[in-house]
Amino acid sequence: MRVLVLGAGVNGLSAGVILAEAGYDVHLLARELPLETTSAVAAAIWYPYLAEPRQRVLAWAQISFAAFVALADNPDSGVVIRPGNELLRGYTDDPWWACVVADLTRMDHVPSPYRSGWSFTTPVIDMPVYLRWLQRRLEAAGGTLTRMALGGLPDRAGLVVNCSGLGARLLATDDTLYPVRGQVVRVDQVGVDRWVLDGSEPTYVVPRSNDIIVGGTDTERQWDRRPDAEVAERIMARATVLVPALADARVLGHRVGLRPARPSVRLEVEQRGAHPVIHCYGHGGAGVTTSWGCAEEVLALAKALS
Ligand SMILES: Cc1cc2nc3c(=O)[nH]c(=O)nc-3n(C[C@H](O)[C@H](O)[C@H](O)COP(=O)(O)OP(=O)(O)OC[C@H]3O[C@@H](n4cnc5c(N)ncnc54)[C@H](O)[C@@H]3O)c2cc1C
């Protein structure tokens, strides 16, 4: 069966891979190619953030956690399992997703002004490496990727899978979608091997093999994709308090991504006349974290339709 997948971010590529490897004739169409997408800007750690509803997000995130742990055995995938700390300015219960990470531990000592924190081990995904690897895996399974900007959903395809992120505002006429702007700074790897997160600003330091992603911002309904120099300075100042070694790190670049936020992720079938569409968009700040679980659900929905 022929399937058109709209979008070449982490969701389009993951769904494309799973469908192609299950024997579907898969073709991705995308205005932005993988390295130009929001997905390429993500830090990215497995961490459920800004995505609802929790029960479905938890199930997708759990499947993805296991998938990323398995991928970490493949050095070409860009996935590495790393320990790190989340610092908190108050005392709270364990996070709602704690059951997924095997080793969540309360920290005994946290620096001021923090009051508590926890450590755990989680997948860190070097997105440019990983997206290229997903594209190769898609093509090895017979799938294709073509740059194409669409003005609406195709209406003569066998099956359409809509993974267009924020683009679904136009393609699915969905005005519940909105951007949550995230700015990051890419710096030299200066020997940092643990990730650190302070969710209150947010501020995070995510080490990768050859560089470090330092963030960030989460400004709702801001569409500007140009990096702001003053914001970058403030990000670096906050992050250097968390990880003093960053004071010596050379800045390699600045990126902005618009997280596709929505009151809840849309993953469902819409029957448009004789042509079904599987929508899979609106993953907010957790599109990488939920990607394999969502792709598996897309496959299950496709099987039910064929
Ligand atoms: C700074 C930052 C840090 C982040 N950190 C993390 C993290 O640590 N962990 C995590 O899980 N998530 C993180 N995220 C969130 C994550 O990046 C997103 O949830 C995810 O990238 C969404 O992926 P997607 O494939 O749905 O959309 P996108 O990556 O936005 O891809 C959408 C695709 O649809 C295409 N498209 C749109 N409209 C059209 C059209 N009209 N015609 C054709 N094609 C179209 C686009 O061109 C693109 O190819 C972060 C995001 C940002 C910005």
Residue 182 and residue 248 in contact, taking contact as beta carbons nearer than 8 Å: no
What pLDDT score does 157 carry?
A: 77
What pLDDT score does 201 carry?
A: 87
- Domain of residue 166 covers 2-305
Report how far ligand 1's centroid is from the alpha carbon of 305 (Å): 26
Report how far ligand 1's centroid is from the alpha carbon of 302 (Å): 22
Report how far ligand 1's centroid is from the alpha carbon of 114 (Å): 31
For residue 54, is pLDDT > 80?
A: yes
Residue 31 and residue 7 in contact, taking contact as beta carbons nearer than 8 Å: no
Query: What tokens were used for 274?
Result: 């004789």
Compare 127 and 199 and report the one with higher pLDDT. 127
Number of structural domains the chain divides into: 1
- Tens digits of per-residue pLDDT, 136-163? 999 999 999 999 999 999 987 789 999 9
For residue 222, is pLDDT > 80?
A: yes
Q: Which residue has the tokens 């494309």?
A: 16
Residue 15 and residue 131 in contact, taking contact as beta carbons nearer than 8 Å: no
Residue of the CA atom closest to atom 37 of ligand 1: 167
| Cis upstream peptide for 83 (omega within 30°) | no
CATH number of the domain that residue 83 is part of: 3.40.50.720
Residues with CB under 6 A from ligand 1: 6-12, 29-32, 37-39, 41-45, 47, 148-150, 163-167, 170-171, 182, 184, 215-216, 257, 259-260, 281, 283-289
- Tens digits of per-residue pLDDT, 162-194? 999 999 999 999 999 999 999 999 999 999 999
Per-residue pLDDT, averaged over 219-246, amounts to: 97
304 burial level (CB within 10 Å; 0-12, 13-18, 19+): exposed
Of 34, 258, 248, 255, nearest to 165 by C-alpha is 258
CA distance 267 to 277: 10
Per-residue pLDDT, averaged over 296-306, amounts to: 96
Residue of the CA atom closest to atom 48 of ligand 1: 7
What pLDDT score does 273 carry?
A: 81
**Gyration radius of the chain over CA positions:** 19
**What are the Cα distances from residue 199, in Å, to 32, 87, 218, 301?**
29, 7, 10, 35
For residue 306, is pLDDT > 90?
A: no
- Rounded to two decimals, the pTM is 0.98
Q: Considering the chain, what is the average pLDDT of its residues?
A: 97
Residue 294 and residue 60 in contact, taking contact as beta carbons nearer than 8 Å: yes
Best residue among 6, 36, 38 to mutate for probing ligand 1's pocket (most ligand atoms within 8 Å of CB) is: 38
Best residue among 146, 164, 262, 279 to mutate for probing ligand 1's pocket (most ligand atoms within 8 Å of CB) is: 164
Report how far ligand 1's centroid is from the alpha carbon of 226 (Å): 16
Query: What tokens were used for 248?
Result: 């010596």
Share of the chain above pLDDT 90, in %: 94
155 burial level (CB within 10 Å; 0-12, 13-18, 19+): exposed
Residue 162 and residue 267 in contact, taking contact as beta carbons nearer than 8 Å: no
What pLDDT score does 170 carry?
A: 97
For residue 82, is pLDDT > 90?
A: yes
Per-residue pLDDT, averaged over 236-253, amounts to: 96
Q: Which residue has the tokens 């579907």?
A: 24
